[in-house]
Chains A and B, each alone.
Chain A
């Protein structure tokens, strides 16, 4: 291995990992990057490039006349698709309106649906979330709901016609990693749409674990944007998602209680 090689410049995923299909789009990368938390546009652009992502999320907010440069220009220059979110909405009605505004602003009917039920934990409000999902699917949106790690709610969202389900690893911005791997695995086991682990990822091993549990992709933001070196962490996340996916496909060995030698005892010298 070249000791001077910069991982931020590494090539894309290894062959054989298969593309990710969500609704009518196909992605080579299984990492979706949230843009929230970046210190500036240049740092964000470097992180997007290093992550290898093909899809980034944005929020919809009042125009800030003093804002330095256009976030849309940055995203366009990186050549990635845009996924608007409904962050900040606490009711289905607010989320539906925000989704319609996003469709008008960005010309996409894809929406990361987020309906928050509690200010301290930012956990989703399941009742409002399902209501909003119903309304948006009926209006022709491609709905990707940020949801809790409840397998029943995930199933209900899929039944409502969502194009993917996005259970959290842990509450938004906590970096606590996968708090309930069993639930996440159950959701993956039963889902007929892609499962995207969204929120709570702190470091590369968290992203790898989510993929090993069967997730189709990982969505993360501040784990990268607020890391000391965002581009380097973005590269780590890219590799972790690929490694986790490969490990999942490779089929891990079963866990055992007692040791099992890998060196045979046959032919062992009598010493």
Chain B
């Protein structure tokens, strides 16, 4: 199963929790979008399916 995390193709990622862990150890200040829709933290155990696009976002400098 192939999914995309922050635009990069990945294999062996089963849930959103796994996807987050693949790019950061942080949990505070993280938000996730799955195929463009916000996924609340309580639903991060939701299983991913082939072709899903996950965005893992956090705070960065901005005006």
Chain A residues proximal to chain B, CB less than 8 Å: 34-38, 44, 57-65, 67, 70-72, 75, 82, 84-85, 87, 97, 100-102, 104-106, 172-173, 199, 219-222, 225
Q: Are B60 and A221 closer than 8 Å at their CB atoms?
A: no
Q: Are B38 and A72 closer than 8 Å at their CB atoms?
A: no
Chain B residues proximal to chain A, CB less than 8 Å: 6-7, 23-24, 26, 28-33, 36-38, 40-41, 55-63
Q: Are A63 and B63 closer than 8 Å at their CB atoms?
A: no
A85–B57 alpha-carbon span in the complex (Å) = 13
Tell me the interface secondary structure of chain A in the complex.
mixed
Q: Are A34 and B41 closer than 8 Å at their CB atoms?
A: no
Q: Which 10 A-B pairs have the closest CB atoms?
A: A59-B62, A34-B63, A221-B63, A105-B31, A36-B63, A101-B31, A104-B31, A58-B59, A61-B60, A62-B6
Option from B31, B38, B57, B63 in Cβ contact (under 8 Å) with A87? B63
A62–B53 alpha-carbon span in the complex (Å) = 13
A130–B36 alpha-carbon span in the complex (Å) = 22
B23 to chain A, nearest CB (A): 5
Name the residue on A nearest B23 (C-beta). A63
Q: Are B61 and A44 closer than 8 Å at their CB atoms?
A: yes
Q: Are B56 and A63 closer than 8 Å at their CB atoms?
A: yes
8 contacts between A and B (CB under 8 A): A34-B62, A59-B61, A63-B58, A70-B29, A101-B32, A101-B38, A104-B40, A105-B58
Q: Are B62 and A105 closer than 8 Å at their CB atoms?
A: no
Name the residue on B nearest A34 (C-beta). B63
A58-B59, A62-B57, A105-B57 known; 8 other A-B pairs, CB under 8 Å? A35-B62, A37-B61, A60-B57, A61-B62, A62-B6, A62-B56, A104-B32, A105-B30
Name the residue on A nearest B31 (C-beta). A105
Q: Are B62 and A57 closer than 8 Å at their CB atoms?
A: yes
Q: Are B59 and A59 closer than 8 Å at their CB atoms?
A: yes
B2 to chain A, nearest CB (A): 19
> What residues on B are CB-neighbors of A102 within 8 Å?
31
